[in-house]
Structure 1
Amino acid sequence: MKKAVFLDRDGVLNEVLTSRVKFVNHPGQLFLLEGAAEAVAEITNAGYPVFIVTNQGGIGLGFMTEEKLRKVHKRLTSMLEQKGGKVIDIAYCPHKPTQGCTCRKPEPGMLIDLAEKHGINLSDSVMVGDHERDVEAGKAAGCKTVFIGDGETKADAKAPSLAEAVKPIISLLGS
């Protein structure tokens, strides 16, 4: 079974709630955060598969369609590949935030499903996110965790950006 890196999308890879974009509901609203593509490339080049796990309640709330989300993710993976990064698979929760599903973070459903599908050992893997719900999902799945941001966290490591989190991520994968 392989080790892997699971990344939240909004706030880790791309802008959200910025002066340029509030939420990413179509491909033109996708702007990568500085150094994010290079960070994914560095993780990829270190030999670790990268997965994205993202809550997309905008689908359940009617702000976007799953087809539009597929186009956003196609643009995202293309932008990451241009810098040498590779995303193996993307899991998303389309449900409304209050729907009570088992896939919406902080529940671990998306991580567990990807691990089963791709032969990933969750206890040797790392979940990276910018909200405590991401950390909680990672811990519930048995992963080590990295928090992106400057707030309080129960994560195993913390960094101000994905670019600065690469070393702690690689370190946790080695331990």
Structure 2
Amino acid sequence: MKLIILDRDGVLNEDSDDYVKSVDEWQPITGSAEAVGRLCEAGYTIAVATNQSGLARGYFSLGDLEAMHSKMINLAAEHNGRFAHIAFCPHGPDDHCDCRKPLPGLIHQIEKALGTSAEGCWMVGDSIRDLEAGIVAGCRPALVRTGKGEKSIAKLADAGLGQTQVFDNLAAFADFVLKNG
């Protein structure tokens, strides 16, 4: 299985410092749904690992999150894209769970759900914690400049991630993967 794990906010959809709280606020990043479709058509399995502490903070409900994910799924499907699994952490930063990135729990959930290892797969994110979670699970990190990505670039070296490949957006990452395998 050729697995690629994506963060959600800032990779697939526009991010917000005030949290993405509703289906109306969930806005795709230009080219992201198409990128998922192109990767799926090329035989890649796409999964999502996303921290959603807005649930624990009471900013939105599980129903709101499901509506956002339905929108994401439907937009990808319009381009022959599919998400094999969506893993989300509903906890807040002080809940001491094992699934909140930078811990690798969400990636382990994806591995279990799909019956595969994430070792060597891509972990695409816009923050250092996305990349750290991927590295702990044996993934290759890729940073996108969208979302918090531009701010994260300056922190790569300090986090020991200086060799991370950086892409303008998910579409540029897909171009690279489809060209280079």
| Equivalent position of 2:13 in the other structure | 14
AA in 2 matched with 1:120? T
Higher helix share: 1
Deviation by residue 1:40-98 (Cα, 9 ceiling, x = unmatched): 11111110110011000000011111121111101110011112211111000000122
Could you list the runs of 4 or more consecutive aligned residues of structure 1 that deviate by over 3 angstroms after TM superposition? 167-172
Deviation by residue 1:83-121 (Cα, 9 ceiling, x = unmatched): 221111100000012222110000000101111221222
Matches within 5 A, 1:138-149: 138-149=134-145
AA in 1 matched with 2:143? F
- Report the 3-state secondary structure (helix = DSSP H, G, I; strand = E; otherwise coil) of the residue aligned with 1:103: coil
Is the CA contact 2:53–2:89 (under 8 Å) kept in the aligned structure 1? yes
**Relative to 1, partners in 2 of residues 1:105 and 1:165: Cα closer, same or farther, differing over 3 Å?**
same
Unaligned 5+ residue runs, structure 1? none
Which of 72, 76, 81 is the aligned partner of 2:68? 72
Unaligned 5+ residue runs, structure 2? none
AA in 1 matched with 2:109? D
State the distance in 1 between where 2:140 and 2:178 align. 11
Structure 1 window deviating more from structure 2 (94-103 vs 4-13): it is 94-103
| Equivalent position of 1:166 in the other structure | 174
Root-mean-square deviation (Å): 1.7
Is the CA contact 1:3–1:121 (under 8 Å) kept in the aligned structure 2? no
Which of 111, 116, 119 is the aligned partner of 1:120? 116
In the superposition, the TM-score normalised over structure 1's length comes to 0.90
Structure 1 window deviating more from structure 2 (83-92 vs 144-153): it is 144-153
State the distance in 1 between where 2:142 and 2:53 align. 23
Is the CA contact 1:145–1:156 (under 8 Å) kept in the aligned structure 2? yes
| Equivalent position of 1:134 in the other structure | 130
Is the CA contact 1:50–1:88 (under 8 Å) kept in the aligned structure 2? yes
In the superposition, the TM-score normalised over structure 2's length comes to 0.87
State the distance in 2 between where 1:168 and 1:125 align. 14
State the distance in 2 between where 1:156 and 1:117 align. 27
| Equivalent position of 1:48 in the other structure | 44
State the distance in 2 between where 1:168 and 1:135 align. 18
AA in 2 matched with 1:8? D
Deviation of 1:171 after TM superposition, in Å, equals 6.5
